[in-house]
Structures are given as C-alpha cells and as structure tokens.
Structure 1
Amino acid sequence: MKHQQVVVDYWNMIKTSFTCLLLAFSGYILIKMVQTIFWLPSYLQKNQKRLEELAAQYSLDLDGDKSVADELKAQLDEAVEGKQPLLAEKSEEDKIYSADTKPKVDAEPKKQK
C-alpha cells in the first residue's frame, strides 16, 4: 500500500463554511418573513383596538361625557377608512407664516413717485 499525503485546502474550507452560514442565515430570514406575514395583521388589529379604547377612556376621563367619546370614535373610524384626514392640514400660507408674522393684506399700497 502506498503512502498518501493529505493536502488541506484552507481557502476551499473557508469558502464552504461561509456559504453554509449564509444559507442558514437566509433560511432564518425567510422563516421570520413568513411568520410576520401571518402574525402582523392580527397584531395591528389588536393594537388599533387598544388605542381606540385608550382614546375613548381618556376622553371619558377628561370630559365625563359619553357623546364626546362616541364622536372621537367616529372620527377615528372615518380616518382609518380613508374618508378624511384626522387632522386638517394647514394651507401653504399658514405653513410659511405664523399668526404674528402674516403680512397685512388690507394695508394701503405705497404711493409711487
């Protein structure tokens, strides 16, 4: 029987190890993404209900009036459905100028020579 010498190829071992680790990491990410697809919608629904209940509770605590809580809940429902924005956006002029720096429109124009 002849004597055989074993040659260790370190570069090939490192490349193979890195490829296996990358494959395992990619599989982990894929599993997490599939889990998120099924988990996220129910989490968002529970969170939305919790926030609506919290808003209604604070409304009742502050005002002590049931109609205000119902009105707030109706506004939230409309905003969620996309019928109207929750907060009215300011006009472009209101964004540029604050209340005390708005130019006066009714002032007389300057006389030209």
Structure 2
Amino acid sequence: MSRYVFSQGEYWIRDLSGQQLLCINDNPISLQYLLRVNDLVRLSPQGPLLAYIGEGRFAEAAENSATEAGPPPSTNERERLAPEMSNDDAGGFWSRLRRRF
C-alpha cells in the first residue's frame, strides 16, 4: 500500500506497508521518496510499473523499461529532461486553477 502526496511544492510517494514493497528505479524505499521526472515506480513485486512524468502525472511503463533505464539521471540530466515551462504555464491544471481563486 502506498500514498502519493503533494507537499511543499513537490510530489512524494510513501510506502505504507512497512515491508519495503514499493520500489523506485528497482530500489525499495523504506518510508517516503521525492519523485523526479523519469523515476520508475513499482507498487509491488507483481507490478504495476509506472513512470513518473512530472507535474503529478504517471504513465504506464513497459517492463523492459526498468532494466533499460540504468542509473537514475543526475541533477543536470533531470533539469534537461524536465519540460520547459514559461511563467504563464508553470504548474499543472490544479495549480493554475487554485491561483485563480
């Protein structure tokens, strides 16, 4: 069991099972993890495998993605892989909606 949390402007995932069943990039996490673009999230040994694509969104990932992914990208690579956003486009749909009210 896991929980997906938005806190202090960032998205986190927490393992609530206490059994380290939640894996990020094939590494079990003990409590919580700050999600980064291109992280591969496995919710249990049987799956599913999801790719974090940023702004609180996930996409289903192919099983061979985990073995081909290699080590997690460095900070510079993460910045390069993050989508470019102007100040007008900053944040997801809900973030922009909240700013209007």
What TM-score bracket applies, with the shorter chain setting the length? under 0.3
- TM-score normalised by the chain length of structure 2: 0.24
- TM-score normalised by the chain length of structure 1: 0.23
Higher percent of residues as helix: 1
Larger RCO (CA within 8 A; separation ≥ 6): 2
